[in-house]
Amino acid sequence: MQTREFIGSAQVSGGAELTLYRRGGDFMIVLDRNELMSSRMSGSEEALANLTCDRLRGRARPHLLIGGYGMGFTLRAALAALDGGGQVTVAELVPEIIEWARGPMAELAAGCLDDPRVRLLQADVADVIAAGRGTYDAILLDVDNGPDGLVRQANDRLYSAQGISAAMAALKPGGIVAIWSAGPDPAFTRRLSRAGLLVEEVVVRARSNGKGPRHVIWFATKRGA
């Protein structure tokens, strides 16, 4: 059995320490004993992009905001689904995440950060959302572990009633907020519904082969938009 090799660590502002490991050709980002991300499980992150882009069919050159680069699965899937058109803004708070993408995980990144359709911001996605009035066709949030955060307490503001309202204000008419979570959260579903949004909750598998743990993606749009 191959041993796990330490690659680097990153201190999250206002949160915990993330650690990057490699085992053979696989990478994993770990918080304490929790494996937050793994290159072996990309299915639900890809589904976040693909299912969102499916819901944007017919829009000319859509502009997507992705909160959290992670290992880039959502970004790469979005670029493939946009098929040469559109624009993607990526907000990543932790600089080491991007350093790892351009360094030890460069092969995995496959040049996605250098795609001319991509604008990369080292920023808290909550601040990017607050600054973007009517800017985006879709906001894709893969931040922390979902509404039940592990990494950074300040991430809770994304999933609060105020955070939901800010996200909707940053969307163009008929836009979508798509939110990834490691598991279901009935209280958050109710929070979305109470905000007057049309809510769809989709269960997806962690692996691209349709296997692995079940994750959840919410799609929220303004009623009547």
Exposure pattern of 40-53 as b/e (b: 16+ CB <10 Å)? ebbbbbbbbbbbbb
Q: pTM of the full predicted structure?
A: 0.93
**Do residues 74 and 49 touch, judged by C-beta distance below 8 A?**
yes
Looking at the domain that runs over 41-222, which CATH code has it been given? Answer: 3.40.50.150
Q: Is 2 helix (H, G, I), strand (E, B) or coil?
A: coil
Record the tokens describing residue 119, joined without a space.
């604008």
Residue 69: both structure tokens together? 């680069």
Question: What are the beta bridge partners of residue 205?
Answer: 214
pLDDT value at position 223? 65
Say what the pLDDT of residue 146 is: 76
Q: What residues does each domain of the chain span?
A: 41-222
- pLDDT 10s digit of each residue in the chain, 225 long? 678 999 999 988 766 789 999 999 999 999 887 888 999 999 999 999 999 999 999 899 999 999 999 999 999 999 999 977 899 999 999 999 999 999 999 999 999 999 999 999 999 999 999 999 999 999 999 886 778 654 445 557 888 889 999 999 999 999 999 999 988 999 899 989 998 899 999 999 999 888 889 999 999 997 654
Evaluate whether 27 touches 108 at the Cβ level (below 8 Å). yes
What is residue 88's predicted lDDT score, i.e. its pLDDT? 98
Q: Cα separation of 72 and 55, whole Å?
A: 21
Which pLDDT score, from 0 to 100, does residue 36 have?
Answer: 85
Phi-psi region of 32 (alpha: psi -120 to 50; beta: other; left: phi over 0): left
The whole-number pLDDT of residue 55 equals 95
Distance CA 128, CA 90 (A): 10
The pLDDT value given to residue 205: 94
